[in-house]
Structure 1
Amino acid sequence: MRLIWPALLVFAASCGLTDDGSLPVVTGTFGSKPLVTIPKGKPGRTPRITVLSTGTGRRTLPGDVVLADVDIRRWSGQPYMNTYDGNQPTTVVFDGRQVAETWRRSLIGRPAGSRIMLVSPAAEALAPNVPLTGVSPSDTLVLVFDILGGYPPDARLVGRTLPAVPADLTPSDRPRTLIDGSGAEVRAGSKVVIQYVAAKWPSRTVVDSSYRRGGPSAFTLKPGSVPPAWLDALVGQHVGSRLAVPAPAADGAGGPKLYVIDVLDTLTPEF
């Protein structure tokens, strides 16, 4: 999801204070859906950012693709949307275009593993492709980000060329390990960060690619959140691996596909 919103904002030094001096209270561990308690009183009028916890991973950089889980709710406490229930973190492409300034200030320069809270009017907190459903531009939203990491848009296995579908791969084949990785093991239920290409069978025409979409994507390895062929092929692999993964027509719409997947990172539930 590319999030773009042209805005010039002034950030208050109070970092999340309401008119009566209180903050929303966020509980729960990093990587799990947060519990947010909204205080009494009216919110402030300017966007405010609070660092709830600081991770120990690589700091995100300008130009990165930032992967994060996010929970968004109204100031009343009513849920608005979140990525935790769908098991697919959002992808924010900081490619020099005007991403929302609130998101840039919340996500850039933060270590992976950090939890950040943004309290902001809806017009300054949401991008055009996130509809203002049931809220007005002036309504206050509370956003909690779990930053999984930042990655270069062209991130790939070190020293390797871009992935290509093997000429002899067919939908009836078993998944094939093209490059053995030596990093952390990918576990069921973990989040995995990948780059991939997908080709249609039998033409082998590339019909989808994370490189074309803007960079790495993250998925939670649970049934229903990724194609079954991915789940079977990725669990037990290691960071740094490249896999050729056939997916039969039953795995999704559009007929059989052939995938080549580079495993860039994995984040266990304890991360």
Structure 2
Amino acid sequence: MPRRLTTLLSASVLAGALALSGCGEETPSAGSAALSAVTVNGTDGKAAPTVKVASPLKVTKTESKVVTEGDGAAVLKDDLVSIQAMIVNGRDGKVAHSTWESGPVGLDLGDAALFPSFKTQLPGKKVGSRVVITSTPKDAFGDQGNTQLAIAKDDPVVFVIEIVSASKVLAQAEGTAVAPKKDLPTVTMNDGKPATITVPKDVKAPTKTVVQPLIEGKGAEVKAGQTVRVAYTGALYRNGEVFDSSASRPEQPYFEFPLGQGQVIKGWDAGLAGQKVGSRVLLVIPPADGYGSAGSGAKIKGTDTLVFVVDLLAAY
């Protein structure tokens, strides 16, 4: 399979995955005393804001306040969202973590392991909104806290979040069928199972990567740096044998990776860039753009050309 990079955010990995956006001086005035105790200063969108908390903060239930409302669509409970955010320890008002310089990161609101404070407070907010969340310890880092961030198990947490984008997750490719070129492998999709890939007889494998859309999606073009969610099946060109498929893992029948960051084989990074969300793409990848002369595992030899059918389900 392509080299795997899990990017879903849960309590155990959130510390290294968030980024922040600046905002003007805005103090939540409505709602609970906890929300009213948070002030956000900063007008430079390229710099982290200053977040002031009247500490020690007392949070009896997780709540949120929109301090600047965006004009985008409302976030749905199962959306993939791109956010910028800062984590502040409510006990002492200190910024525990900010990856502002690294840029926005993605959250899967449908992921059961995601912070409850995000899963309960972000749905319904509009894209472009800046939100303050005052979270109970349980709804943030859980019963263990986070020693790396110096957040104890009983410390309340403040999140300052900007919702950059939100996207629906497709179950499979959706769009307009595209007639493929001659002499390419054909694909038969099998619901819930790996696709069947049939390699043409007496046709030599291409020496350069072939990118052939089978369905052109109606979503936005995916770009380098985005996290891309796909479903896929991979087979060997020499005999059509399937060597890997996301459908073989029913507990998580998809794969996510940051496009253009070298976390997958070159043929994927180059071949999927610029394709639209919702597309189904056939990739025929020679060894130079695949696993090279070393091959991979017991099935993929150093001389093997690979065939993939990839559904682009989301990008964020």
- TM-score when normalising by structure 2: 0.58
Q: 118, 141, 150: which is aligned to 2:157?
A: 141
Structure 2 equivalent of residue 179 of structure 1: 214
Q: Equivalences for 1:1-271 in 2 at 5 Å?
A: 1=8, 3=10, 13-14=31-32, 17=35, 21-25=37-41, 29=45, 35-39=48-52, 41-46=54-59, 47-62=62-77, 64-69=78-83, 71-75=85-89, 76-79=94-97, 85=102, 89-93=106-110, 100-126=115-141, 132-133=147-148, 134-143=150-159, 144=161, 146=163, 148-152=165-169, 154=171, 156-158=173-175, 164=195, 166-168=197-199, 174-181=209-216, 183=218, 186=221, 188-189=223-224, 191=226, 193-199=228-234, 203-208=241-246, 212=250, 214=252, 220-224=258-262, 227-245=265-283, 246=285, 248-249=290-291, 254-255=296-297, 258-264=307-313
Most deviating of 162-171 and 97-106: 162-171
**Structure exhibiting the larger radius of gyration computed from Cα positions:** 2
Report % sequence identity. 17
SS at match of 1:13: coil
Unaligned segments of structure 2, at least 5 residues? 1-7, 13-29, 178-188, 301-305
Aligned-residue Cα RMSD (Å) equals 4.6
Task: Give the CA deviation at 1:4.
Answer: 8.0
* Cα deviation digits, residues 46-67 of structure 1 (max 9, x gap): 23323244444443334x2433
SS at match of 1:24: strand
Alignment-mate amino acid for residue 13 of structure 1 = G
SS at match of 2:39: coil
Q: Structure 1 residues 68, 40: CA separation in 2 closer, same or farther (over 3 Å shift)? A: closer
Alignment-mate amino acid for residue 14 of structure 1 = S
Task: Give the CA deviation at 1:110.
Answer: 2.8
Alignment-mate amino acid for residue 249 of structure 1 = Y
* Cα deviation digits, residues 127-167 of structure 1 (max 9, x gap): 68995533212224333253532424625425886683633
Q: Is the 8 A contact 1:17 1:44 kept in 2?
A: no
Alignment-mate amino acid for residue 108 of structure 1 = P
Q: Is the 8 A contact 1:59 1:112 kept in 2?
A: yes
Q: Is the 8 A contact 2:74 2:124 kept in 1?
A: yes
* Cα deviation digits, residues 229-270 of structure 1 (max 9, x gap): 2221122323432112346125x9955665432234556xxx
Q: Structure 1 residues 190, 23: CA separation in 2 closer, same or farther (over 3 Å shift)? A: same
Task: State the distance in 1 between where 2:295 and 2:85 align.
Answer: 29
Task: Give the CA deviation at 1:222.
Answer: 3.8
Q: Structure 1 residues 236, 139: CA separation in 2 closer, same or farther (over 3 Å shift)? A: same
Q: Structure 1 residues 72, 215: CA separation in 2 closer, same or farther (over 3 Å shift)? A: farther
Q: Is the 8 A contact 2:31 2:65 kept in 1?
A: no
Unaligned segments of structure 1, at least 5 residues? 6-11
